[in-house]
Amino acid sequence: MPDREASHEPAHPGNLALCAVLAIFIAAIVACLGYGARARVVPLPIATLGAILTVVQLVLQNLPSFGDLHLDALELFTSQAPGTTPVKPATAGTGGAPDAARWRREVMAIGLVLLLAVMFMLIGPIASIFLFSAGYMLAKRQYRWPLGLAFAALFSLVVYGLFAVVLGVQMNNGLLGSMFGF
């Protein structure tokens, strides 16, 4: 009979962090129950969805088959092919190329966020979401241009439906919309 202690695998290291996140979502749900009906329209569904997704994540990562998945969530952001070893960044002060590339990526990310913020102010949120997401998908060459534009339109419609129709948020037209009367 195999030793039970020897066959026991340690729990996933992210369990403690996920339990803390779940506690935050549960606290938000409990706090929302004390709000008025209109005040809890946004935070209650978000906290509930967050709690459900956190529980699903806890269950999935603790299943025995979780170790066999070999998924790298950061692979999406690092743009590395599966199975390749990551490039170790140079230490600060060495002036290596990885530091320059990292700095360039960070400046690009900040620039994209600032561009989206300026677009929100100038042309409004829905047009900004469409143009930004279409431009991003076309620039990253994830899809051909008709499919990229269709996804951008669908995403814009979902955001409009959620905020303007379901939640009743009045969408502004931006500064240019106000100047030209639309």
Number of structural domains, the chain?
Answer: 2
- 182/173 Cα distance (integer angstroms): 7
Average pLDDT over residues 17-40: 89
∠ at Cα 66 (63, 69), nearest 5°? 155
The runs of H, that is alpha helices, within 11-96 are 15-32, 43-62, 75-78
Q: Domain of 169?
A: 110-182
Average pLDDT over residues 1-20: 64
What does the pLDDT read at residue 42?
84
In a domain, 6, yes or no: no
What does the pLDDT read at residue 68?
56
In a domain, 179, yes or no: yes
In a domain, 170, yes or no: yes
In a domain, 66, yes or no: yes
- With b for 16 or more beta-carbon neighbours within 10 A and e for fewer, the 19-45 pattern comes to eebbeebeebbeebeeeeeeebeeebe
In a domain, 87, yes or no: no
In a domain, 3, yes or no: no
In a domain, 118, yes or no: yes
Is residue 152 within 8 Å of residue 126, measured between CB atoms?
no
- 154/37 Cα distance (integer angstroms): 30
Give the number of other Cβ atoms within 10 Å of residue 126's Cβ.
19
The alpha carbons of the chain give a radius of gyration, in whole angstroms, of 23
Q: How deeply is 115 buried, as exposed, middle or buried, from its count of CB atoms within 10 A (0-12, 13-18, 19+)?
A: middle
Q: What mean pLDDT value characterizes the chain? A: 78
Inform me whether the pLDDT recorded for 182 exceeds 90: no
Q: Looking at the structure, tell me whether residues 74 and 121 fall in a common domain.
A: no
Q: Looking at the structure, tell me whether residues 23 and 71 fall in a common domain.
A: yes
Return the higher-pLDDT residue of 83 and 124. Answer: 124
Q: Looking at the structure, tell me whether residues 128 and 69 fall in a common domain.
A: no
Q: Looking at the structure, tell me whether residues 71 and 131 fall in a common domain.
A: no
Structure tokens at 77: 């952001």
Return the higher-pLDDT residue of 94 and 134. Answer: 134
Domain C-terminal end among 31, 60, 79:
79
Q: Is 35 helix (H, G, I), strand (E, B) or coil?
A: coil
The enclosing H or E element of 115 equals: helix 97-123
